[in-house]
Structure 1
Amino acid sequence: MTTALDDIAFLANSENRVELLRALVEAPESHDELRDRIGASRVTTARILREFEARDWITRSGQECAITPTGEWVSDEFARLLDEVAAERRLRKPLQWLPSDLLSFDVRRLRDAEIVVLEESDATAIIRRTLEFRRSSDRIRGVTRMVAPVFIETDWESTVHGQTRLEQVITPDVLDAIRTHSTAAKQLREMLDETNVHVSVTADIPISVGIYDDAVGIDLTDEDGVVKAGLVTEDEVVREWALDLFDRCRAEARPVDPDEVTADH
């Protein structure tokens, strides 16, 4: 007696079976048309069709094969399962760097997220993607545990010389890093004089997250704090999570005073 797992394995163990069943969902086809579609032998095609017919997934009239309602049901659900597993496989590597204790949403909300993976051959990919958002957004909110002078310069241009609204929560280490860079320190002081800029500092930032208008960017780091990948999504649930994280960090932070942003050298 076969089980549901037997039928799943029956399909999963042969791409030809999956393709034939999908083909028949689209329209009835003849034995020869199906054989040509999968590039299999006549014997192999005939065997697959007999196995489908034995499960009542198809009907046959001479050479003509047609899907049954149960066959279409199985095909649709199997295709959905394949899509879900494919999404999980795509996210498997980057999600290893997303701390599970920070997840208050179903990880499947990230199934369509853009993945920016840091590769040795293109170590600036995440920086470039982040800059694209910072240059094109009308409103930027975020919490960050890391900084680069190019981010400060970009924010300075878009806030002091533009209309972008910036609300950023940073760590003391980030503030110290800015202070050690004379240009970045000067630019941040000028930004803090603008009414469209609010920067505050707190030590309790668990992960770097940016909210760029409707999009959310999440930096993923390893146990040493090295950025390994980035995720970008416009999922509403993830955006609410990011906004909640931002609000909680900002509530615990103190505003940065322009007088304390003095370059060390």
Structure 2
Amino acid sequence: METALEEIEFLALSANRVTVLERLAAEPQSRADLADATGASQATLGRILEDFEERSWIRRDGGTYTATPTGKLVSDGFTNLLTIVETEQSLRELVPYLPADALDFDLAHLADATIVQPTQTRPSAPLQRTLDLTTACSEIRSFSHAFNNQSLATVEQQVADGDLVFSGVFSNSAIDALTAESELCHLLRSLVEAEDAHVRVYDGEVPLAVTVADDVVHLLLRDDRGILQGSIDTDAEAVQSWAIDRFEAYWEASRPLEASDLSH
């Protein structure tokens, strides 16, 4: 009997094998159905079906084939492995900028995430993704170590127009950076004074820049120098739950930012 690794290799070395098993695990198929799905020759398809029958992964029922319970088990497990590897590949370049200790949810929940990275022609693409989400939502809850001028201006305008309810918790350093510039300080004061905005200051470190825009969780990633490296956003329920719990924890441990706190 082949080892488990050998069986995995047997399946992985042929995209046609994977496709055939996945389709049969979903519903019964005829040989014609499988040929259309794979584009494989009848000879190749015959070998695949014979190999699967020898392993008791499938059974023939008249003119159709279907996966056995163990065939479905193998198909489900292999599909999960493919999803995990595909997710890892999509995140690989951003791994150095992910604060692993803070992301205490299963990264498999990022399988369908939208990942945006800066390019030579679009260096601010991740930030633009943030702004697009901001202008498309009605409520934002945010916690971050930074609040850049474009995001601040967009949020302030959306709130002033009555299109957005905003709640944000920021580190001291983020607020200090804004108050150091008179124009940004003015925008921040306008936001703080708005009825539909609530800004708080957290005295400790905030290792993430997270925005919950309606039901979308958006992470903006920077390197140690503060240079933008990418963004990740998802509407996965598990990530939403994580982000909201984090936001509420920072909110409870922070203090309100008052207009009188702003020096300019």
Change (3 A) 1:172 1:12: same
Inter-CA distance 256–22: structure 2 relative to 1 (3 Å threshold)? closer
Aligned mates of 1:43, 1:158 — CA distance in 2 = 63
**Structure 2 equivalent of residue 233 of structure 1:** 234
Contact 2:24 2:67 in 1 (8 A): no
Q: 1:28, 1:172 → 2: CA distance?
A: 61
| Counterpart Cα distance in 2 of 1:87 and 1:206 | 23
Deviations 1:181-209 (A, max 9, x none): 33322222222222222222234212111
Structure-2 residue corresponding to 1:219? 220
Structure 2 equivalent of residue 134 of structure 1: 134
Deviation at 1:10, TM superposition (A): 0.8
Q: 1:73 offset after TM fit, Å?
A: 4.5
Structure with max Cα Rg: 1
Contact 1:113 1:233 in 2 (8 A): yes
Q: 8 Å contact 2:28–2:67 — kept in the other structure?
A: no
**Residue correspondence of structure 1 range 19-34 to structure 2 within 5 A:** 19-22=19-22, 27-30=28-31
CA–CA distance in structure 1, aligned partners of residues 43 and 148 of structure 2: 63
Cα deviations by residue, 1:19-68 (Å, 9 ceiling, x for unpaired): 344455554444x8867865556665554444333323445799x67345
> Structure 1: how far apart are the matches of 2:237 and 2:36?
45
Residue 250 of structure 2 aligns with which residue?
249
Shift in Å, 1:215 = 1.9
> 2:106: which partner in 1?
106
Change (3 A) 1:38 1:177: same
SS at match of 1:186: helix
One-letter amino acid of the counterpart of residue 65, structure 2:
A
Distance 2:138 2:35 in 1: 56
What's 2:88 paired with? 88
CA pair 196-65 structure 1, distance change in 2 beyond 3 A: closer
In structure 1, C-alpha distance between the alignment counterparts of 2:60 and 2:253, rounded to whole Å? 69
Residue type of the alignment partner of 1:255: P
Equivalences for residues 134-153 of structure 1 within 5 A: 134-153=134-153
Q: 5+ unaligned residues in a row in structure 2: which ranges?
A: none
Q: Is contact 2:171–2:203 with CA below 8 Å preserved after alignment?
A: yes
CA-to-aligned-CA distance 1:113-138 (integer Å, 9 cap, x gap): 22222333321112211112222322
Name the structure 2 match of 1:119.
119
Q: Which runs of 5+ in 1 are unaligned?
A: none
Q: Percent identity?
A: 34
Secondary structure of 2:131 counterpart: helix
| CA distance in 2 between partners of 1:225 and 1:17 (Å) | 46
In 2, distance between residues paired with 1:243 and 1:59? 47
**CA 1:20–1:128 in structure 2 vs 1: closer, same or farther (change >3 Å)?**
same
Matched letter for residue 66 of structure 1: Y
Paired with 1:23 and 1:195, the residues of 2 have a C-alpha distance of 55
How many angstroms apart in 2 are the aligned matches of 1:166 and 1:37? 49
Cα distance in 1 between the residues matched to 2:159 and 2:29: 61
Paired positions, count: 261
Q: Does the aligned pair in 1 maintain the 2:118–2:229 contact within 8 Å?
A: yes
1:142–1:210 contact (8 Å) kept in structure 2: yes
**Contact 1:24-1:65 at 8 Å conserved across structures:** no
Identify if the C-alpha distance between structure 1 residues 72 and 174 changes in structure 2 by more than 3 Å, giving closer, same or farther. closer
Match of residue 208 from structure 1: 209
| CA distance 1:252–1:46, shift in 2 (3 Å) | closer
**CA RMSD, Structure 1 to Structure 2 (Å):** 3.0
- Normalising by structure 1, report the TM-score: 0.81
CA contact (8 A) 1:163 1:196 kept: no
